[in-house]
Structure 1
């Protein structure tokens, strides 16, 4: 059997291993797209758009399990992205406290031009229903600035 088959190889020698670059590029693009989508979702606010006040001691927030209460420049209140009346605000607070239980957290997202009395009202109503965890959303002050 001198003229037998050599396993389908026409060169007669062992096949050399090749690195396929196309699947590698696909994996890299998948990881890049995943990273970009994850990064975009990190600081997405669930409240209405307001001009947040600056703070030099800002920390990243965890929006899971929180409701965003916004106070706009016109001193109107919004629940997440829903503009609501004062009566509706109290009703939603009570329902949220019942469903979230003792770990209920509120993220206060207020415009820097909103009146202090509006923020005080919101704080008072939150404390009246028994929610003690209130986070104030701010933006990071530029380094060396106010």
Structure 2
């Protein structure tokens, strides 16, 4: 007598876990995670909504300080909210400690353009030649 085509007792099929599609899914998730983490902007500034551009490039943050301009116009030195006087003092101190240091400006896309230009201008007056404006990729 034929048992109905099944391989198990009484003609019942056993469940099998197919490993090949599982490996494909795991590799897809791994690749997605890696690409996502590479696209993150790793700066030390406060959280702001950066302007989106098509030519954004990830920068090395070694030897840099991040100055953030929030949408309310407040300034932050890395993660510390500071006043204009503190900004000028810290800028001069950073110049003394790091004569070849770089400045990253994190300006919220809703911030006043004049605030970001003020930070840019003061950094150049302090003698910094490497001043960058941070953006995100569209």
Q: Which residue of 2 aligns with 1:98?
A: 96
Cα RMSD for the two superposed structures: 2.0
Q: Which residue of 2 aligns with 1:49?
A: 47
Structure 1, unpaired ranges of 5+: 1-31, 142-146
Q: 1:43 to 1:117 in 2, by over 3 A?
A: closer
Task: State the 1:119 CA deviation.
Answer: 1.0
Structure 2, unpaired ranges of 5+: 1-29
Q: Give the match's secondary structure for 1:94.
A: helix
Q: Give the match's secondary structure for 2:85.
A: helix
Query: Which has the higher Rg, Structure 1 or Structure 2?
Result: 1
1 CA distance for matches of 2:117 and 2:67?
A: 13
TM (normalized to structure 1)? 0.67
**Per-residue deviation, residues 13-44 of structure 1 (Å, max 9, x unmatched):** xxxxxxxxxxxxxxxxxxx9xx97xx57x633
2 CA distance for matches of 1:95 and 1:59?
A: 28
4+ runs deviating over 3 angstroms: none
Q: Which residue of 1 aligns with 2:127?
A: 130
Task: State the 1:124 CA deviation.
Answer: 1.3
Q: Which residue of 2 aligns with 1:75?
A: 73
Residue 120 (str. 1) matches residue 103 (str. 2): no
- State the aligned residue count: 105
Q: Which residue of 2 aligns with 1:60?
A: 58
Task: State the 1:123 CA deviation.
Answer: 1.1
1 CA distance for matches of 2:42 and 2:58?
A: 12
Task: State the 1:104 CA deviation.
Answer: 1.3
